[in-house]
Every structure is written in structure tokens, then in C-alpha cells.
Amino acid sequence: MIVSLIVSLVTAKEVMELAHLSRLSLSPAEATRMCGQFAHILGYIEMLRAVDVRTTEEYLSQRQPDSSLREDQVGPMYTSQCALSAVPQRRDGMVEVPKFKED
């Protein structure tokens, strides 16, 4: 197993950024723990950097020749009652969420 010495270090601050990007709220203790595990896992993943992939294409599953396209037909749909029954918070036939700023 070839492990390069240039191990990417991910700081606690970066972990918190990743947590925000993925909408996870980590406690500082969790972030620190994740940091350590990240170093460990990324250290292991470093072995990929030793591989020469300059002439290699990204993987693509082999597939049947015909495009997997669907004809433009309407199939079974939900009634709004059925669809909304799963929604944790609803109002006026719509899904309720805390107010947010549109952007």
C-alpha cells in the first residue's frame, strides 16, 4: 500500500464549512473528532494520488446501445391529499417551512 506523505489535512474550520454545505450542525467536539477521522481516511485515500491516470477516462458503466428514454406519457400521479399526507407540516395544500429569504 503506497501512502504518500503529503496527507491532506482538513482543519476543524474546514470541517465546519463542510458541515454547513451539507446542512449538518456539528458540535465542536464532533467536529474535532471528525477531523481526526478525516485525516485517517484521507490519509488512506492518498494512495490514489500515486496512480498515473493522465490517459484514463472517468468510469462509465457499460450500457445497452439504446438510450434509456421514456415516451412522453402521463402515468400514475398522486392526489394532493396522498402526497401531502407524508408532509410533516402543511397548510392550504402546501408544504410549510420557516420563512426564508428568496434568492
Partner 1 sequence: METSQIVALTARELAVRVRDGSITARRAADAYLSRVDAVQRAFGPFAHATPDRCRAQADAIDQARARGETLGPLAGVPVGLKNIFVTQGVPTTCGSKILSGWTPQYEGAQAACLRQAGAVLVGKLAMDEFAMGSSNENTPFEPVRNPWARDHVPGGSSGGSAVVVSARAAALSLGSDTGGSIRQPASLCGLVGLKPTYGRVSRFGMIAFASSLDQAGPFARDTRDAALALSVLAGHDPRDATSLNAPVPDYLGACETPIKGLRVGYDPDGLNHEGLDPEVRRAFEVSLRVLRERGAEIVEVALPHAHLGVATYYVLCAAEAASNLARYDGVRYGRRQPQPSLDGMYAATREAGFGEEVKRRILLGTYVLRASSYEEYYGRAMKVRTLIASDYRAAFECCDLLVTPTSPFPSFRIGEKVSDPLAMYLSDIYTVGANLAGLPAISIPGGFSQAATDRPRLPIGFQLLGPRLAEPRLFAAAAAHEADTSWHLERPPGIKA
Partner 2 sequence: MNTSRWETVIGLEVHCQLKTKSKLFSACGFVFGAEPNTQTDPYTWAHPGTLPVPNREAVRFAIRLALATSSDIQQRSRFARKHYFYPDLPKGYQITQSDHPYCLGGHVVIPPGVRRPAKTVRLVRIHIEEDAGKNTHLAGKDISLVDYNRAGVPLLEIVSEPDIRSAQEASAYMRELRAIVRYLAISHANMEEGTLRCDANVSLRVRGTQAYGTRCEIKNLNSFKFLEAAINAEVRRQTALLDDGGSVVQCTMSYDTMKDCTRVMRTKEEAADYRYFPDPDLPPLNIDNAWIADERSRLPELPAARRKRYAAMGLRDYDVDVLVGDPALATFFDRTIALGGDAKKVCNWITVELLARLKADRKRIERSPVSPARMHELVALVESGTISGRVAKELFDKIYREDLTPSEVMARDGYQQMSDPNLLEELVTKVLANHPGQVEQYRRGKTKIRGFFVGQVMKRSEGQANPGMVNQLLDALLPKPEN
Interacting residues toward partner 2 by CB under 8 A: 21, 23, 58, 60-61, 63, 67-80, 83-84, 86, 91-100, 102-103
Neighbours of 10 (CB within 10 A): 18
What's the residue count for the chain?
103
Q: Which residues of 23-44 are buried (b: 16+ CB within 10 A; e: fewer)?
A: eeebeeeebeebbeebeeeeee
Size of the site for partner 1 (CB under 8 A): 48
Nearer to partner 2, 1 or 88 (CB): 88
Residue 50 burial by Cβ neighbours in a 10 Å radius (0-12, 13-18, 19+): exposed
Question: Applying CB under 8 A, does 11 fall inside the site for partner 1?
Answer: no
Question: Applying CB under 8 A, does 23 fall inside the site for partner 1?
Answer: yes
Binding site for partner 1 (CB under 8 A): 1, 10, 15, 18-19, 21-26, 30, 34, 37-38, 40-41, 44-45, 47-49, 51, 53, 56-59, 61-64, 66, 68, 70, 78, 82-83, 85-89, 95, 97-100
